Amino acid sequence: PGRLEALATRARRISEALIAENNPLGAKFTRQECDWWIERVIRNEPLWASGPAAFNRDRGKVCLPLWPRRQTPAASSRPGVFLHLYYSDLAPVFAKRLAHISCPFDLYVSTDTAEKADFIRGCLPAAEIRVLENRGRDVWPKLYGFRDVYARHDIVLHLHGKKSPHSAALDEWLEHILDCLVGSADEVNRILSLFDTIPRLGMVKPVTFKAALSAAHWGANREIARELAWRMKIEAPLPDDGKLRFPAGSMFWARRDAIQPLLDLDLRPEHFPPEAGQVDGTVAHAIERMLGVVCKVNGHHILPVSGAGTRLHMMYQKRFTSNGELRAALEAGVFDA
């Protein structure tokens, strides 16, 4: 059944690509080029490896370089950290990184076997650990496997043990994301202070990793996203590829209210296809993109950041020296260009 599901998913991706605007299988391509695209689908590779027509990779490079803050902000509630560890061997990595959160927080960890849970518990003894079905990658466990505890937290952090076996170019992606979100105690303090002082700040996401820039668009996920939007009663049309903003890699800090409509969907494991190594075109990939859409529809800002540990896209950095200056820049749409 899992193999049939994977083949059906790939067949759907071909049919969607044929009718999509700027489709890579359209008549403007030669037969040889079409065969090349079809082979990408058969190998389970993204259809738009270099982005759809007129897609601008540079828009994903704009970011705020975090500046340190020594003082830990006083939070109205403890942040909730939601960590999915399919790759349990990464637990020590996260134990070290989470030590950079200097305020009290609650940690929720999901994995898919009791054996993995035992190992994780040894590395993260304070965590509430749940063994959940291996469906929906990290998205279902983090959003819905712990849906009952979200009301306790105004601010949440989503992380997962990301590995990308299908592409060696993505080997450093996790380190980049962690450098941006939990790079140091002073940088985490800065992020939390931004949520305290900028009421409309809905999400802090890592600046898009260099090898993921070409995939930071709808890809084969738009039709699934339309159904999700309908279920959430979002009447506004989905943004086009050039205006889509989302946390590529599905790791971010967020205000719970900014993502509440997705939580309210209360999806079950069976809403997600069986795991078959899919790299695109699944409910999880669509939700990854809808995280940004929902945040913006709710009237919140999305802020891409880089930490001191990452040197990417330095020409595109927007520097500010106070939270007030940054708030004005967000209101002016500086990071939406």
What is the tens place of the pLDDT at every residue in 285-294? Answer: 999 999 999 9
SS3 134: coil
Q: What are the residue boundaries of the structural domains of the chain, listed by start? A: 1-47, 64-332
Interatomic CA distance for residues 301 and 129, integer angstroms: 31
Q: How confident is the model at residue 275 (pLDDT cuts 50, 70, 90)?
A: confident
Question: Residues 13-23: what's their mean pLDDT?
Answer: 51
- pLDDT score, position 280: 80
- pLDDT score, position 311: 77
Q: How confident is the model at residue 212 (pLDDT cuts 50, 70, 90)?
A: confident
Domain 64-332 falls in which CATH fold? Spore Coat Polysaccharide Biosynthesis Protein SpsA; Chain A (3.90.550)
Q: How confident is the model at residue 39 (pLDDT cuts 50, 70, 90)?
A: low
- pLDDT score, position 17: 53
Interatomic CA distance for residues 66 and 61, integer angstroms: 15
Q: How confident is the model at residue 25 (pLDDT cuts 50, 70, 90)?
A: very low
Classify residue 136 as left (phi > 0), alpha (psi -120 to 50) or beta: left
Mean pLDDT in the chain? Answer: 86
Judged against a pLDDT cut of 60, whether residue 1 lies above it is answered with no
SS3 317: strand
